[in-house]
Amino acid sequence: MSNGKKKALVVWGGWLGHQPEEVAGLYRGILEAEGFEVEVSDTLDAFADKEKLLSLDLIAPNWTMGQIDGGLVQNVLAAVQAGVGIAGTHGGMCDSFRTNVDWQFMTGGQWVAHPGNDGVEYVVNVKHSSSPLLDGIDDFVVKSEQYYMHVDPAVEVLATTRFPNPNVPGPHTTNKSVDMPVVWTKRWGAGRVFYCSLGHQANIIAMPQVTEIMRRGFLWAAEGKARADAAAAQGAGAYTGMSDSIV
């Protein structure tokens, strides 16, 4: 890139109840504060130019309950496999396209329920794991939708929440308690995938803890592109020794 900046693409749309435009604006602010050149688009056609996607460092999708042409998904998958990072929140990344299993396979999970709907108070428990990405962030309370998800067992779980919530009745409460992933990372080829299930609306993304989680996630995901490019230039093929350091 001529200006030396990392490039990010934010794509928003779908169900307007998630305030996708407002959340996209918060994404843009976080990224620009970190020196990214940011393009924001409100159309899935932003995924049509595969070569352009391959030139990015980061894709930040924020599209809920949509329908998408399979070819557009394959372009995104190819870009991430080549090293472009992808990071997002809530339904904007893991309830984007309910009928596209390829998207779900890449992102690492799919929303299936939020017992009690919006306004449920719950604790986000930060895990001590092999990743330092959330180091220094303490457990915190959120009042929002509590996402129950189907999750790829290959993900690295960085934060969880407990189900069932004692304040929320439902048929799921007769099962044993489970720690549901809230924040995770995974790999897709040479690319880095980061997800946080928080963010029903913009006020949740604007919480200091969530803003910091996403700042770190964006940086971590975007870092993978340079590492993958460097490994390819050295003839090393797909880079597999990527650390979880925050740039």
CATH of the domain at 57: 3.40.50.880
> Is 42 part of a structural domain of the chain?
yes
> Does 66 fall in a domain?
yes
pLDDT digits (tens, 9 = 90+) for 127-180: 988 899 999 999 999 999 999 999 999 999 999 999 999 999 999 999 999 999
Query: What is the arithmetic mean of pLDDT over 75-90?
Result: 98
Average pLDDT rounded to a whole number, residues 115-136: 95
Interval 102-106 mean pLDDT: 98
Helix (H) or strand (E) holding 6: none
247 occurs within a structural domain: no
- Residue 157 placed within a domain: no
Considering the domain boundaries, does residue 213 fall inside one?
Answer: yes
Question: Percentage of the chain surpassing pLDDT 90?
Answer: 88
Q: Is residue 69 part of a domain?
A: yes
Residues ≥6 apart with Cβ < 8 Å to 129? 156, 157, 158
Distances 181 to 3, 73, 92, 197, 230 between C-alpha atoms, Å: 38, 24, 16, 8, 32
Give the DSSP H/E element, type plus range, for residue 184: strand 178-188
Q: Has residue 82 been placed in a domain?
A: yes
Please check whether residue 174 lies inside any domain of the structure.
no
In whole angstroms, give the CA distance from residue 223 to residue 84: 9
Residue 13 pLDDT > 80: yes
Number of domains in the chain: 1
* pLDDT > 70 in the chain, percent: 94
Taking the model in full, what pTM does it have? Answer: 0.94
Q: What pLDDT digit, counting tens, does each position of 180-203 carry?
A: 999 999 999 999 999 999 999 999
Residue 65 corresponds to which amino acid?
M
Residue ranges making up the domain that contains 76: 7-111+180-233
